[in-house]
Amino acid sequence: MRYGKGMMIDPNQPQVMAAIVGGCVAAVVSVTVAVTNQLSLRSMHKQKLDGDRDLAERKVNADIALAERKFQFDKDLVSWRRRYELAEQVLAAAYEARDALNWARGPGIRQGEGQSRIAIEPESQAIKEARDSAFVPIERLAAHSKAFAALQTLRDAVMAHFGDEAAKPISEIFEVYHGITVAASMLMENAAWNEDRQARASLQPIRDELYGDKAKAANAKANAAVKQLETFLRPILSAGAPV
């Protein structure tokens, strides 16, 4: 090994070997640090991506759960409101129908009642008065036709929401209704019998349907039907809206 100009460095010299080895070690350390830093950055980036993905998934799941709860709440609210309104409408119509049925059989005829009947043939004064009198229960029921129409219209809805048993009282109310109209119609058709004592006596069972003990039983049946409706529908009106 020579020093100075033109001098050669002997790589076998300890100092030279140490310098070479030191340089290599430094290079390896530098590369190792760089690789380690790169791996660390990649790991941190992956962890961040995983965390962001997990957060996004949890947010999506939370949004889905919230949307499902809102959908179910809206569905329950609509169902509750529909059942509430149905119960309210049916009971209001049933109360009016019950009162109309009781009034239709009420004793006494007020001035002018029965005269809305339209005669379809020539009538003597006696037959006209008999038919007008027999027509009074029908006329009284007709004054509350909207209530009976509402019950008839809502009957299927009651059956759908509350079951067949809940609709049964409505059918019983109409049985009483038809009993009144049929008996009154028979009295009108046979008004001429009033001029014959024996024939008039044969109409007494029909009169009993309207004004006798059978009438009281029919009124009791209508009242019981309304009370039965209440057992099905009042709990709906008492229950609060879903929360």
Residue type, 241: A
Q: What pLDDT does residue 2 have?
A: 47
Residue type, 186: M
Q: What pLDDT does residue 146 have?
A: 96
Q: Which residues contact 186 (CB under 8 A, 6 or more apart)?
A: 203, 206
- Name the more confident of 81 and 38: 81
Q: What pLDDT does residue 15 have?
A: 62
Contact assessment for residue 236 and residue 229, using Cβ atoms and an 8 Å cutoff: no
Q: Between helices 164-189 and 213-238, what is the axis angle to 10°?
A: 150
For 181, the token pair is 């109209």
Rounded Cα distance between 140 and 105, Å, is 9
Count of residues in the chain = 243
CA 133 to chain centre: 45
Residue type, 182: V
Q: How many other CB atoms are there within 10 angstroms of residue 83's CB atom?
A: 18
Per residue in 70-105, pLDDT (tens digit) is 666 555 557 668 889 999 999 999 999 999 999 998
For 240, the token pair is 């609060």
Per residue in 137-181, pLDDT (tens digit) is 999 999 999 999 999 999 999 999 999 999 999 999 999 999 999
Q: What pLDDT does residue 3 have?
A: 45
Rounded Cα distance between 191 and 132, Å, is 10
Least confident of 99-113, 156-170, 216-230: 99-113
pTM (two decimals)? 0.68
Residue range 173-199: mean pLDDT, rounded: 84
116-120: long-range contacts, CB 8 A cutoff, minimum separation 24: 117/188
Q: Which residues contact 192 (CB under 8 A, 6 or more apart)?
A: 127
Q: What pLDDT does residue 1 have?
A: 47
